[in-house]
Amino acid sequence: MFNSPDEVAQALAGTGYLADSATATTVFLAASLQRPILVEGPAGVGKTELAKAVAQASGSELIRLQCYEGLDEARALYEWNYKKQLLRIQSSTAASSSWEQTHDDIFTEEFLLTRPLLSAIRRDGPTVLLIDEADKTDVEVEALLLEVLSEFQVTIPELGTVTATRRPFVVVTSNATRELSEALKRRCLYLHIGYPAPEREREIVLARVPGIAAELAEQVVHTAAALRGLELKKAPSVSETIDWARTLLALGVDDLDDAATARTLGVVLKHVSDHERAAKELGLPAATG
């Protein structure tokens, strides 16, 4: 997929994703060793975007498993099309077919509904499998991932074991709202993505917001860093910094003074208590709408 960390950095930059040395090296090693990456960090710092950028840079199809509380095997791996099976059973009964014949007939590919994990395993082409926000699932769900992440295979009792002919590039993301199991971590390379240094974030804004002036990008990044230094319920993410820059560009603002900051603060702060603290600590005027 990639020949060196430098090639990774260049390829990702071509998609608009500016990777630091640690990120580029981890992606290179994951591709070379065929190991999943566990990417942890605050929400909105580019974890999901990394998987998308790798897919775009490598010409791979992105398959995404969005994790959530209550996710189960049927939504992650596969399930049988029960309605279609029932119709076949009714048809076979009318034709006086034996149960053994009917059983063998309904547990076939025709009735199998593949979900993200199985879909990624079965693909012959280059694939990036994104297991997004794994920390939001129940602990039991991690067991579903272990066979996939260690052996790159899925066992279907009625059909047998499906083994990947071409291993997908796997990115597992976590916002660290709970600790993932050691068994899962052991199968992955680890990468932590935090808030970037101001210089790096400025480069990101300039790359992702065409047409923005360098001085305005500097102001946006500086103000976002100041907000992150406050005791907020939810600090601004990098994606929100980018949104802020786009907002200012759309409004024709070329100077992020206190008035402009107060007027557009809702782009980066989403809790009223955070607005109140920011106004107090930064000395912002009351927004007039």
| Assigned token pair, 112 | 């199998």
Write out the chain's pLDDT in tens, 289 residues. Answer: 899 999 999 999 999 999 999 999 999 999 999 999 999 999 999 999 999 999 999 999 999 999 999 999 899 999 999 898 888 888 877 666 665 666 667 888 889 999 999 999 999 999 999 999 999 998 888 888 888 888 899 889 888 899 998 999 999 999 988 899 999 999 999 999 999 999 999 999 999 999 999 999 999 999 999 999 999 999 999 999 999 999 999 999 999 999 999 999 999 999 999 999 999 998 988 654 4
Superfamily classification of domain 5-73+120-192: P-loop containing nucleotide triphosphate hydrolases (3.40.50.300)
Q: What is the DSSP string of 125-177?
A: S-EEEEEETGGGS-TTHHHHHHHHHHHSEEEETTTEEEE-SSPPEEEEEE--S
224 and 201 Cβ atoms separated by less than 8 Å: yes
Q: Measure Cα distances from 26 to 7, 33, 172, 187 in Å.
A: 12, 10, 13, 14
